[in-house]
Amino acid sequence: MNWPAIRAIYVFEIARTWRTIFQSVLSPIISTALYFVVFGSAIGSRISEVDGVSYGAFIVPGLIMLSLMTQSISNASFAIYFPKFIGTIYELLSAPVSYVEIVISYVGAAATKSVVLGLIILATASVFVPLRIEHPAWMLLFLVLTGITFSLFGFIIGIWADNFEKLTIIPLLIVTPLTFLGGTFYSLKMLPPIWQKITLVNPVVYLVSGFRWSFYSVADVNVYISLAMITGFLVACLAIVAWIFKTGYRLKS
């Protein structure tokens, strides 16, 4: 394993955060704070508790998961797309760095930034509402697994995309709507029975539910099913990345 090469790419990607600190850090924090103000105050004044948890505290795990997924995809997709755009990807591919090392460095950097951002948002949320984390180990597990998985997903998008518009179309038109419809701002028990069953088709439901369970021990689906879903998605992303490097899909043409 070429650890110096991994470290060089990793440090470079982490340093890029400071060059775009408003977009990478401040913008998600401000957006999350606005969600607390709008949903926590406006809707929270009408919904006192959900499953024994105050509404303001109830939406915290969903908001963290929303930021975590979108930022993981954004960080990883832009990181690998930009070398393709300016042509330096060929220097990377011809360097004595294996495909595994490339994925570890880029995905590792994107996941690190996303997880740190998630923890910052968690600290920000504690200013607005009283929080408790009943299962901190599970919370960190879901945080890290989700960060790695969606960084891999973003890495795939960055290789697939051939223009900047495609980098944002999936997070904006697919991931964000699925998160809003995945129990971020409500419990599935609040829906009519038929919609409860339909909503279970949404994979984000399992991520938000499992992450919320780590806070308050309340969930819409079993936590082990949630863990199995995120693990399955992780394995699927790894398989796609392996296929991309094996075939050279949009890398060698």
Instruction: Please state, in angstroms and rounded to a whole number, the distance separating the CA atoms of residues 149 and 107.
Output: 9
Give the pLDDT of the chain (253 residues) as one tens digit per residue.
888 888 988 998 888 777 767 666 777 778 777 777 777 666 666 777 788 888 888 888 998 998 899 889 988 999 899 888 887 777 887 888 888 999 999 999 999 999 998 998 898 888 878 888 999 999 999 999 999 999 999 999 999 988 888 888 888 888 888 888 888 888 888 889 898 888 989 999 999 999 999 999 999 999 999 999 999 999 999 999 999 988 888 776 5
Instruction: Please state, in angstroms and rounded to a whole number, the distance separating the CA atoms of residues 63 and 184.
Output: 7
Which single residue is written with the structure tokens 């038929």? 194
Do 198 and 224 contact (CB within 8 A), yes or no?
Answer: no
| pTM over the 0.85 mark | yes
Which single residue is written with the structure tokens 């795990």? 61
- Domain ranges across the chain: 3-247
Which single residue is written with the structure tokens 């409860």? 196
Do 202 and 181 contact (CB within 8 A), yes or no?
Answer: yes
